[in-house]
Amino acid sequence: MGKVMLEVKDLKTKYITRFKEDVYAVDGVSLTIEEGKSLGIAGESGCGKSTLALSLMGYYFAPLHYMSGDIIIDGRNISSLDPDDIRKNVLGKEIAYIPQAAMNALNPTRRIIRFIEDVMKVHKPEMTRPEVYEMARKRFEILGLPEKVLNQFAVELSGGMKQRTVIAISTILSPKVLIADEPSSALDVTSQKMVIKMLRDLMEKGYIKSMIFITHELPLLYNVTDDIMVMYAGQIVERGASKEMVFDPIHPYSKGLMGSIIVPETGTREHELIAIPGTPPNLKKPPAGCRFAARCKFATPECRVYSMEMHEFGEGRSHRCRFSVEHLREVYANG
Amino acid sequence: MKHILSQIFHTGKFTMGFCIFMGILLLMVFYPLINPGDPLKIVSIGTFARPGTYISLYDAVDSRLNTLKLDEAPANRLESVLKMEDRVKMVMWFEAVEIPIGHLNIHDTEALLALWEEHYDSTVRPEGMTKADRNYFQRLDESLNRVLVTKEKILATRDASTAELQEIRAIEDTDYVNLKNVANVKRLPLGTDNFGRDVLKELVAAIRTSLVIGLIAGTIATLIGLTLGLISGFIGGIVDDIIMFVTNIFTVIPAFVLLILISYSIGQDQRGPTTVAVVIGMTAWVWTARAVRSQVISLRNRDHVNLSKLSGHNLFLIIVTDILPYIASYVVMALILQISGAILAEAQLSMLGLGPKTTEVPTLGLMMNWSMLYTAHLNGYWWAYFPVLLTIALISFSLNLMNTGLDQVFNPTLRD
Amino acid sequence: MNGYRKYFGKKLLWFTITFVVAVLLNFILPRLMPGDPVAVITAKSAQGMSEASAVKEVYEHYAREFGVNDPMFKQFITYFKNALRGDFGLSFSQYPRKVSDIINDAIWWTVALQLPAIIVGWLIGNTLGALAAYIRKGFDKVIMPVALFLSSLPPFGMAVILLVLFAIKLEIAPTSGGYGFDMIPNFSWPFVKSVISHYQLPFWSIVVYATGGQAIGMRSMSIYELNADYVKYSRFLGIKDSKIVGYVFRNAMLPQITGLALSLGTMIGGALVAEIIFSYPGLGTTLLAGITMADYPLLSATTLIITFMVLLATFAIDIIYGFVDPRVKAAQFDE
Ligand SMILES: Nc1ncnc2c1ncn2[C@@H]1O[C@H](COP(=O)(O)OP(=O)(O)OP(=O)(O)O)[C@@H](O)[C@H]1O
Ligand SMILES: [Mg+2]
């Protein structure tokens, strides 16, 4: 077992909307990632994937608020640090982030190199401008990005190039954990491949020590990450190794999610969730009991009353359903 | 729908704007009921009568008398003639003619008057004092005399044939009449204007015309803009190019200039409020067209629109069912802005003397224009222009507030 | 730089086209009206004249000018040529003065008044709008409605209020004119002093008017930018908030430059009417004279000059904007 890079214990965060309502978008998430490993997080739109990504950074600003839980990066608990400390010493250096809409993640009116200088001024104030330039140039070269990008504005780059630039900037300080929120979703197939290859390179060359990859496209995860977690309504419902998760999902929600994706060819991805009728619960007032009960084909009245914690059932696997693995397998087998 | 309405009213800005606007509408609807009649009727001979309550002296004389013994009456009487600024001027006169005033307290009415009576001489011409100043002191002296010298005042009638006066009775300084007993009392809360018209009544009528102008112009502008925007955005291609070409030209050529040229060419006699409204509407559509077009472009490749296209629905149907509902909130906001813009445009045109022809209806702009032409602002007749300005500002402010409120609801990026 | 030349060329072409259209409209609008324009116009203007010979001369001059017997196209060419040469004929109301002389006297007053006033209003408005967006809470609650109210007040309204307040009540500024009525323009100190003191009220009323509208625009723009993805991304790289606010305001401010170009027409219209309130010797007052005296050549030339000024200013702003905002470069240059 490798060294644990990131450990999250029972993390809870919420949005406070402008009507002063609370949205519990991350509600008790625990996870661990070891050095050299990558973890995929899947789930339908609105289940809280992006919110989880933001919450993991340990740096909160309105409308997102921290409630409870621990975030431990390489043995250091960052949830007890003060925000300015986190900003200076954790962000970018220890944990880095690639936002969902990386297309717009770069300030359109600032040259890329100026932005990198801004980042370095915070984390390595001793570096001079030529040093920063040299370092950025080298890193870009290794990652296969043209040097001239450094002197361009974000608006002058193509979508795929923007995305790769963002990845290069995010990882320029060689963080221990990289959180990539749908880094390839908005791209064409070629750019997608380049982005995936780049992330793999970063892992192999040791520029990042572990990675969380968020997406709603499961086939992608299967190829990219070691483990997969499935998220539903702010909670994790199942976790396991990628292959097992795809071919042997246990939780009824994972089952539905996988079933709807694996069967048809990629062209109909958009309609992936037709297989699970109904809508997710309102995160302002999450239901008691199992959150998936209202949509679950196999639910009993008890499911709506009693909730269940994650529990292990095999090598590195755990799930959140009240029913035993055997029971579920039997039910699935009988259609 | 209900949900949206409740959200809209949840924004303080919309609610505030709505309340102000409703207040103005209520005034517009109900004031004419309380105070009916022609708003352009000339009620005062002479210009700019001060706001207040006017009591018919003719009727007051014949009203039932009460005797009230009020201690402060003489002082009040004096006060109404001898204002603070008069006292200051009096001291200035003393200084001008070099009369030592010693420790005279300017508030000590008795001492001041005594000194005045002793020294004032209308024939003296102090150095540096203009004729206007001398006249002022003469008038002041006369009015002081009227109050101070208690000559007996009587009521009398004149015999028609002999021209002889026949005393009815003496008027005591303790005689009072009850306002209720006077047959003719006229309230002019905002006085009269340069023509002697009741300003408040005229203002209420002007609000109505200006709102109608705003509504007509706003609707025309919005309709033209909406149609062009829809066609241009939805059809695209050469049609879009042509429409955008025209729109871009009229974006840079100021609408204000076109308004002036057209209004001038139409001529004073042809310019009714409706004509003015139509002209304003026809020069103001540019913004709406641009905005609608960009909205439509972002909509036209959405799935539901494509679906409609594939099902062979005709253009009109697609626009009505698949596009319009999505930009409805936007169009409403555009309309609101157009209305407020048109009211301002009318006001500005009228300031240039190109407003609706002046004899038939009052508009806010015309009222403003007249009071400026008669220099109401230079002479302190605030009631003739300030309420008008305030009304224009409030109408426009309330519409803009409502617009901002709607924007907050329908444009999520502006949310807090 | 080739891209920029193309952009410049495009803008120049636009400027030329709009100018031709503006002249055409100026020419054609009065002629579209029913009836014989020369008869109508000279009948109007003849009221203002006592001398019979002058009336006759004006009539002949005008008939020649209008060239009513020529075909429309030829008339337009003559008109256009004269306009380009700055020859607008003789004034009716100030006969036999040349219209171009009258305008020449007025135009510099207007330029010297409105150009600085609009720029100052733009700067103050943008600062306030940015502050309102950034501070929100109390400041915004005050600034926003005040700005909205100020921009709702018609510009001549602001002028009247300032006039009454400062010139009549407080008597610290003159009520009308561009300089003391008893003075002859020269470069002596008393004259300059008089000009400056007459300048204040018209200047500030235009400033206040421009401020309101700009503040509101800037506020929405800044709020929009504050929610932009690059803000979140920059934060998660540890960049200081003050630096990020710098990005945001720069990005919000730049489009306000085009915003200014687009609202210039409306703004100048309002400002011209404000000039009238102070009988300022600029184009606004000339315009009013042209209208009230039924001096058609004067009116027509004034509107043409105003349009030309607006077009020129818009053109200049576009050119500057293309330089300073890389977003425009990206959007326009590679078309
Ligand atoms: N700024 C916000 N204020 C309030 N609620 C929010 C905010 N952002 C997101 N939410 C809510 O939080 C929940 C989780 O949103 P989140 O963006 O994390 O979903 P997601 O899984 O990333 O979806 P997607 O796949 O569409 O990106 C949703 O119900 C959403 O409505
Ligand atoms: Mg997301």
Quick: pLDDT tens for A64-115: 888 888 889 888 888 888 888 888 888 888 899 888 877 788 888 889 999 9
Name the least confident of A57-61, A292-296, B295-299, C50-54.
C50-54
Mean pLDDT value across residues B137-155: 80
Give yes or no for a contact between C238 and A91, defined as CB atoms under 8 angstroms apart: yes
Fill in the DSSP letter of residue C164. I
Nearest CA of chain A to the CA of C256: how many Å? 14
Instruction: For residues B262 and B372, state if they share a domain.
Output: yes
How high is the pLDDT of residue A261?
A: 55
How many domains does chain B contain in total?
2
Mean pLDDT value across residues A273-291: 77
Q: Which residues of B touch C18 (CB under 8 A)?
A: 248-249, 252-253
Structural domains of chain C in order of their starting residue, each with its CATH number: 2-84 (no CATH), 99-292 (1.10.3720.10)
Q: Which residues of B touch A18 (CB under 8 A)?
A: 415-416
Does the beta carbon of A23 lie inside 6 Å of ligand 1? yes
How high is the pLDDT of residue A263?
A: 43
Residue C62 has pLDDT above 70, yes or no: no
Tell which phi-psi region holds residue B128, choosing left (phi > 0), alpha (psi between -120 and 50) or beta: left
Instruction: For residues B9 and B128, state if they share a domain.
Output: no
Residue B176 φ/ψ, nearest 5 degrees: -135, 150
Which strands, in side-by-side order, build the sheet including A227-232?
A: A95-98, A177-181, A210-214, A38-42, A227-232, A235-241, A317-319, A311-314
How high is the pLDDT of residue B367?
A: 92
Nearest CA of chain B to the CA of A178: how many Å? 28
Instruction: For residues B340 and B214, state if they share a domain.
Output: yes
SS3 content of chain C, % helix, strand, coil (to 5): 80, 0, 20
Residue B235 has pLDDT above 90, yes or no: no
Instruction: For residues B66 and B160, state if they share a domain.
Output: yes
Q: How confident is the model at residue C46 (pLDDT cuts 50, 70, 90)?
A: low
Residue of chain A whose Cα is closest to the Cα of C237: A92
User: C158: part of which helix (H) or strand (E)?
Assistant: helix C155-162
Name the least confident of A24-28, A297-301, C135-139, C152-156.
C135-139
Spatial neighbors of A175 by CB under 8 A, at least 6 apart, are A92, A93, A94, A95, A96, A208, A209
Of the three residues B187, B219, B253, the one that is the final residue of a domain is B187
Mean pLDDT value across residues B358-372: 88
CA dist., res. B297 & res. C54, Å (int): 59
CA dist., res. C80 & res. C29, Å (int): 14
Q: Which amino acid is at B307?
A: L
How high is the pLDDT of residue B27?
A: 93
Alpha-carbon separation of residue A328 from A248, A251, A299 (angstroms):
11, 8, 11
Across all residues in chain A, what is the average pLDDT? 84
Residue A268 has pLDDT above 50, yes or no: no
Residue to substitute in A49, A97, A213, A215 for testing ligand 1 pocket (most ligand atoms within 8 angstroms of CB): A49
* Strand segments (E) across B102-199: 153-158, 165-171, 175-177, 185-188
SS3 B353: coil
Structural domains of chain A in order of their starting residue, each with its CATH number: 4-109+153-249 (3.40.50.300)
Does the beta carbon of A235 lie inside 6 Å of ligand 1? no
The reply to whether B329 touches chain C by the CB within 8 Å rule is no
Q: How confident is the model at residue A267 (pLDDT cuts 50, 70, 90)?
A: very low
Residue B370 lies in a domain: yes
How high is the pLDDT of residue B397?
A: 93
What are B179-199's pLDDT values in tens digits? Answer: 888 888 888 999 998 888 999
Residue B47 lies in a domain: no
Q: How confident is the model at residue C33 (pLDDT cuts 50, 70, 90)?
A: low
Both tokens of B278, joined, read 């139509």
**Which residues have C-beta under 5 Å from ligand 2, the single-atom ion?**
A 50, 100
Class of residue C134 by CB neighbours under 10 A (exposed 0-12, middle 13-18, buried 19+): middle
What are C73-115's pLDDT values in tens digits? Answer: 777 888 888 888 888 877 777 767 888 889 888 899 899 999 9
What are B159-186's pLDDT values in tens digits? Answer: 888 888 888 888 888 889 888 888 888 8
Ligand nearest, relative to CA of residue A231: 1
Instruction: Return the axis-axis angle of helices A252-262 and A325-333, rounded to nearest 10°.
Output: 40
Distance A283 CA to ligand 1 centre (A): 10
How high is the pLDDT of residue A245?
A: 85
HSE, side-chain direction, 13 A CA sphere, residue C185? 8
Does the beta carbon of A15 lie inside 6 Å of ligand 1? yes
Residue B172 φ/ψ, nearest 5 degrees: -90, 160
- The residue range of the domain holding B212 is 2-42+197-410
Number of C-beta neighbours around residue B109 at 10 A: 14
Chains in contact with B, where contact requires at least 3 CB pairs less than 8 Å apart = A, C
Name the least confident of A144-148, A260-264, B216-220, B299-303.
A260-264
Among protein residues, the one whose CA lies closest to atom 17 of ligand 1: A50
Give yes or no for a contact between C177 and C278, defined as CB atoms under 8 angstroms apart: yes
Q: Which residues of B touch C277 (CB under 8 A)?
A: 372
Both tokens of B97, joined, read 């003619």
The reply to whether B375 touches chain C by the CB within 8 Å rule is no
Residue C160 has pLDDT above 60, yes or no: yes
Residues 250-269 of B with CB under 8 A from C: 251-258, 260-262, 264-267
A44 CA closest ligand 1 atom index: 25
C186-204 residues labelled b (16+ CB within 10 A) or e (exposed): eeeeeeeebbeebbebbbb
SS3 A10: strand
CA dist., res. B40 & res. B202, Å (int): 6
CB contact under 8 A, A18 and B416: yes
Higher per-residue pLDDT: B129 or B36? B36
Give yes or no for a contact between B156 and B168, defined as CB atoms under 8 angstroms apart: yes
The neighbouring-strand residues paired with A178 are A96, A211
Mean pLDDT value across residues B218-246: 91
Across all residues in chain B, what is the average pLDDT? 86
Residue B192 lies in a domain: no
Nearest 5 degrees, angle CA C316-CA C155-CA C158? Answer: 130
Nearest CA of chain A to the CA of C215: how many Å? 22
Q: How confident is the model at residue A178 (pLDDT cuts 50, 70, 90)?
A: very high
Q: Which residues of A touch B10 (CB under 8 A)?
A: 19
CA dist., res. A15 & res. A23, Å (int): 5
The reply to whether C33 touches chain B by the CB within 8 Å rule is yes
Higher per-residue pLDDT: B109 or C13? C13
CB contact under 8 A, B10 and A19: yes
Determine the distance from the C-alpha atom of residue B269 to the mean position of all C-alpha atoms in its chain, rounded to a whole number: 25
Alpha-carbon separation of residue B254 from B42, B223, B251, B259 (angstroms):
39, 20, 7, 9
Nearest CB among B251, B380, B400 relative to C262 is that of B251
Mean pLDDT value across residues B110-123: 81
Higher per-residue pLDDT: B245 or C47? B245
Residue B416 lies in a domain: no
The neighbouring-strand residues paired with A70 are A9
The reply to whether C135 touches chain A by the CB within 8 Å rule is no
Q: How confident is the model at residue A221 (pLDDT cuts 50, 70, 90)?
A: confident
Nearest CA of chain C to the CA of A12: how many Å? 19
Nearest CB among B352, B378, B400 relative to C148 is that of B400
Among protein residues, the one whose CA lies closest to atom 22 of ligand 1: A50
Candidates C160, C293, C310: best to mutate against B (most CBs of B within 10 A) is C160
Question: Which domain CATH number covers B381?
Answer: 1.10.3720.10
How high is the pLDDT of residue A264?
A: 41
Nearest CA of chain B to the CA of A271: how many Å? 13
Q: How confident is the model at residue B208 (pLDDT cuts 50, 70, 90)?
A: very high
Among protein residues, the one whose CA lies closest to atom 31 of ligand 1: A46
Residue B206 has pLDDT above 90, yes or no: yes
Mean pLDDT value across residues B409-414: 66
Q: How confident is the model at residue B210 (pLDDT cuts 50, 70, 90)?
A: very high
Question: What is the pTM (predicted TM-score) of this model?
Answer: 0.81
Across all residues in chain C, what is the average pLDDT? 82
How high is the pLDDT of residue C1?
A: 55
Residue among A285, A224, A221, A223 at smallest CA distance from A254: A221
Give yes or no for a contact between A134 and A116, defined as CB atoms under 8 angstroms apart: no
Instruction: For residues B316 and B397, state if they share a domain.
Output: yes
ipTM: 0.86
CA dist., res. B240 & res. B229, Å (int): 9
Residue B342 has pLDDT above 90, yes or no: yes
Instruction: For residues B162 and B210, state if they share a domain.
Output: no
SS (H, E, C) B311-344: CCCCHHHHHHHHHHHHHHHHHHHHHHHHHHHHHH
Give yes or no for a contact between A95 and A73, defined as CB atoms under 8 angstroms apart: yes
Nearest CB among C237, C239, C327 relative to A109 is that of C327
Instruction: For residues B130 and B273, state if they share a domain.
Output: no
Candidates A19, A23, A270: best to mutate against B (most CBs of B within 10 A) is A19
Q: How confident is the model at residue B385 (pLDDT cuts 50, 70, 90)?
A: very high
Residue B62 lies in a domain: yes
Residues 140-159 of A with CB under 8 A from B: none
A53 CA closest ligand 1 atom index: 18
Residue of chain A whose Cα is closest to the Cα of C242: A118
Number of C-beta neighbours around residue A262 at 10 A: 13
CA dist., res. B179 & res. B55, Å (int): 8
Instruction: For residues B149 and B201, state if they share a domain.
Output: no
Nearest CA of chain C to the CA of A56: how many Å? 11
Number of C-beta neighbours around residue C32 at 10 A: 10
Chains in contact with C, where contact requires at least 3 CB pairs less than 8 Å apart = A, B
Does the beta carbon of A283 lie inside 6 Å of ligand 1? yes
The listed range with the strongest mean pLDDT (A125-134, C67-76, C316-325) is A125-134
Q: Which amino acid is at A201?
A: D
Name the least confident of A113-127, A186-200, A264-278, B2-16.
A264-278
How high is the pLDDT of residue C330?
A: 65
Residue C228 has pLDDT above 70, yes or no: yes
Distance C126 CA to ligand 1 centre (A): 32
Fill in the DSSP letter of residue A106. S
Instruction: For residues B202 and B257, state if they share a domain.
Output: yes
CB contact under 8 A, A91 and C236: yes
Instruction: For residues B17 and B165, state if they share a domain.
Output: no
Class of residue A63 by CB neighbours under 10 A (exposed 0-12, middle 13-18, buried 19+): middle
How high is the pLDDT of residue C40?
A: 60
Does the beta carbon of A63 lie inside 6 Å of ligand 1? yes
Instruction: For residues B100 and B219, state if they share a domain.
Output: no
Higher per-residue pLDDT: B11 or A88? A88
How high is the pLDDT of residue C61?
A: 66
Instruction: For residues B145 and B227, state if they share a domain.
Output: no
Fill in the DSSP letter of residue C168. I
Higher per-residue pLDDT: A223 or C248? C248
CB contact under 8 A, C29 and B261: yes
